Chains A and B, each alone.
Chain A
């Protein structure tokens, strides 16, 4: 009897999850500055970071560049890294939206709805994910246009689809990470200060800008790369997107990401279920 009720409940929670997703998406499109920055940000990163940096190797023999960047030129090497920045920043920011909802009172409204908190969390994560994927696709699209002159090309359709999988997993991980942090901090200020602090090392020690192997001689920094989930995300994404040789075997990337995603999801759901509202 009670099992039947439970089943029905799980089943019918698809609509609440959908409604949380829908809210995130409507919110996104209702806030024009966010829409604009989502489009402009990747263009700026590509134009102001990837393009100038790829000039570092101007005049050097192409073989040198290719041995250093796993068979790629520097620009192509940087493109997946820049997609990675978007996933890291965008994902972690989901945590701040939880805090905003706390501040602006909307969290109470959803907390008294007859819906599991896990569903609430999943819904908003999917919502963030949708926006995050939109940005990732824009980045890849714009990079492909620049790529006509700078030698970046998507390797194959299957590679592209696999790249999407890596994007989804990476974003999902940082989204849960953001929600966990959101549960630990009372106000937005503390959260933002901490996120700004932690985003730097996560980003620079992920192989997004500098090949993982280049740091071999630097003790601590080299090892940190191995415990940073973004490292595996960018490594898999880069290999899938460009057809280059990954640093880790690709299945290792996938397994690590899935494991971290599951652990973070559980931790995030736990934090969300313990979150106090008043």
Chain B
């Protein structure tokens, strides 16, 4: 399959501050590719370069073979964009916004009507298209922006944090709508998010991005696998005041413990699969003067992968 996005050595500096640091990645046709990273990681900056709103400091980026700096006009014809912040005209209705968008892309009247009908159905917006956006809830307005992003047969759709501020139910709904729209329109999607579940559920491949750098790119499955086969995570209390580092030091030497993923509460250990690990650990902790408050044995998830590659949880990275 063809690559619709090819990025090589892309760097963006604002003064001395490096917002995007020498990143490389490719996105295949019809793929959903996710940028998973905390606030300020450089996700939106990368998108702004790819959609021709910002010039890179160095490196190159091509969309469908067109260079984003040298051939911005051709790039723009191939893409749809859903910005992180609002970008519709709220004095107009949803349909008027979509119709104007179609005109900007020089679609004929028949094409516009056909496509508007199609995206309204895909994003489940039928019935509210003639209401001014001002009087609609934020989530509905967001769906109109997504609908607009898919309207012009784009080869690539950029979705910058599409579900930010959504509740769980609305988020799940939008995920499946995005999947349907992408299937129907045959577009590739580059999506940014700091929601683990969003990356896991939606993306064919995920790039973990932190401090302006891509630290890993793979399928969610492989990213999880790279952490290990089994994890045990637990909250621990220090009964005798020996200190957590003493505990870590001792537990590392158990023969079924492969490594330490996280050395503060809740502690996470990489372990070999086997029977009775939970009980063994509780006993062991008790023996050396610690108590286990809660414990969970599980396979690695994407959150663990983030921790594995960046050395911190995404919540820590957000400064929360």
Contacts and interface: CB of A to CB of B under 8 A. Distances in A.
A30 B96 CA distance: 11
Interface of B: 48, 51-54, 73-74, 76-77, 79, 81, 83, 85-92, 96, 100-101, 103-106, 132, 148
Given A114-B77, A278-B48, A109 B103 contact: no
B91 A112 contact: no
Contacts of A168: none
Contact of B103 (A9, A18, A105, A114): A18
Given A105-B87, A106-B88, A108-B81, 15 more contacts: A15-B104, A23-B89, A23-B100, A104-B86, A105-B83, A105-B85, A105-B88, A108-B83, A109-B81, A109-B101, A109-B148, A111-B53, A112-B51, A112-B52, A114-B105
Contacts of A112: 51-53, 76, 79, 81
Interface of A: 9, 12, 15-16, 18-19, 22-23, 26-27, 30-31, 104-106, 108-115, 277-278
Contacts of A9: 73
A22 B100 contact: yes
A104 B92 CA distance: 13
Contacts of B87: 105-106, 108-109
B89 A106 contact: yes
Contacts of A15: 103-104, 106
A31 B77 contact: no
Contacts of A26: 92, 96
Secondary structure class of chain A's binding surface, majority of residues: helix
A277 B47 CA distance: 13
A23 B87 CA distance: 14
24 contacts: A9-B73, A15-B104, A15-B106, A19-B100, A23-B92, A26-B96, A30-B132, A104-B90, A105-B85, A106-B89, A108-B53, A108-B83, A108-B85, A108-B87, A109-B83, A109-B88, A109-B101, A111-B53, A112-B53, A112-B76, A113-B101, A114-B76, A114-B104, A278-B48
Interface centre among A22, A105, A112 (most CB of B within 10 A): A112
B106 to A, nearest CB: 5
B104 A113 contact: yes
Nearest to A13: B106
A16 B101 CA distance: 9
B15 to A, nearest CB: 15
A31 B103 CA distance: 22
Contacts of B53: 108, 111-112, 277-278
A119 B25 CA distance: 34
A31 B104 contact: no
Nearest to B103: A19
Contacts of A109: 81, 83, 87-88, 101, 148
